[in-house]
Amino acid sequence: MCGIAGIIYADANGGREVGSDITRMLQSMKHRGPDSTGYALFGPSSGSYVMRFTLADANDPRDFDFADRIRRNRFLVEQRLRRYGAHIHEIEEETEYAYRVAFDYEGDLKQLADLVEDVPGAEVLSLGHALEIIKDLGDAESVATQYELGSFRGTHGIGHGRMATESDVDISGAHPYWAYPFNDVAVVHNGQLTNYFQWKRRLERSGHRFNSECDSEIIAVYLAEKMSDGASLEDAMRESLDELDGVFTYIAVTEDALGVAK
């Protein structure tokens, strides 16, 4: 039993306070998902990319080497971005393990994301011109305060409050999921996929990667595969209703469209 929310503004010239609005919506459903909260927020689009990534999980033990290990791995991420042609504008430390980096890049997004995720402990949460995925353990107000989302202005967004039933309570298992490697496409899901293992094996054989054991990640990877074959997001969602079994509702959102599947 999870809670999902979405909002798109008809008059978002210059952006609205989407971080605050989604937080209020999710906090009202706190009882439906107290384990973790996630946001896919769309800010002003520009020619630059924004990447959100983590270098550890909130649950990881804080041993004597934790801070040094994070510092070394952050350096490796920056080094790889620059080595493969990214011009970094800024990199922000959101928490002791979560980062936001803005950069210009003209190469292959999948290759860049794979290079970053090859750094020990690294996971790319989102990558796009407008999309930013923020997720962590705790309720909506806790996560919004931790990441200062009250000041986030944008045009639309989706959110998710999770009650873990199929996988661990960790950041990797939290929603939303980025439809890697497509920029600006994210998914939240409420329900259960009964043919999860069948589709996971099939998608892994096609070369797709998974960062969690959560069945919901299947939807994002499924959409990514369909779109890589030339399908639109709308068509990919429609096909998913026939091929992904279960009783569920999910929202897939892009920079310029919002779709809901039931």
pLDDT confidence of residue 257: 55
Least confident of 37-51, 80-94, 246-260: 246-260
Q: Which of 2, 130, 174, 193 is catalytic?
A: 2
Collapsed DSSP state (helix, strand, coil) of residue 134: strand
Q: How far apart are CA 241 and CA 84, in angstroms?
A: 38
For residue 260, pLDDT over 70 is answered with no
Residues, the chain: 262
In DSSP terms, 126 is beta-bridged to 52
- pLDDT confidence tier of residue 11, bands split at 50, 70 and 90: confident
Q: pTM for the full model?
A: 0.92
**Start-to-end Cα distance in the chain:** 15
pLDDT of amino acid 258:
54
Tens of pLDDT, residues 32-80? 878 899 999 998 877 899 999 999 999 999 999 999 999 999 999 999 9
Cα angle: 148, vertex 153, 158; to 5 degrees = 85
How confident is the model over 148-179, as pLDDT tens digits?
A: 999 999 999 999 998 877 667 889 889 999 98
Strand order in the sheet with 248-254: 177-178, 185-191, 248-254, 258-261
CB 100 within 8 A of CB 51: yes
Could you tell me the pLDDT band of residue 130, with boundaries at 50, 70 and 90?
Answer: very high
Q: What is the pLDDT of residue 45?
A: 79
Check whether 256 has a pLDDT greater than 70. no
Mean pLDDT score, 89-102? 97
Alpha helices by DSSP H, listed for the chain, are 18-27, 66-83, 109-117, 140-146, 196-205, 217-228, 233-243
Least confident of 24-28, 181-185, 249-253: 249-253
Whether residue 262 is predicted with pLDDT greater than 60 in this model: the reply is no
Q: How many CB atoms lie within 10 A of CB 87?
A: 12
Q: How far is CA 17 from CA 7, 41, 59, 152, in A?
A: 11, 10, 30, 6
* Residue 141 pLDDT: 96
Backbone CA torsion sign across 121, 183, 134, 152: positive
Cα(237)–Cα(251) distance, rounded to whole angstroms? 9
Half-sphere exposure of 172 (CA within 13 A, CB side): 19
Q: How high is the pLDDT of residue 207?
A: 84
Q: 187 pairs with which residues across the strands?
A: 177, 252
Nearest to 157 by CA among 258, 248, 50, 227: 258
Q: Give the CA distances from residue 204 to residues 170, 222, 232, in Å, rounded to whole numbers and listed in that order.
A: 22, 11, 22
Work out the percent of the chain whose per-residue pLDDT is above 70. 95
Q: Which two tokens stand for residue 251?
A: 């929202």
∠ CA 56-128-137, nearest 5°, is 35
Percent of the chain with pLDDT over 90: 62
Q: What is the pLDDT of residues 205-231, one digit of tens each?
A: 988 888 888 888 899 989 988 988 999
Give the span between the Cα atoms of 149 and 19, in whole angstroms. Answer: 5
214 has catalytic annotation: no
Give the residue among 54, 21, 26 at the shortest CA–CA distance from 142: 26
Angle at 29 between CA 53 and CA 139, to 5 degrees: 40
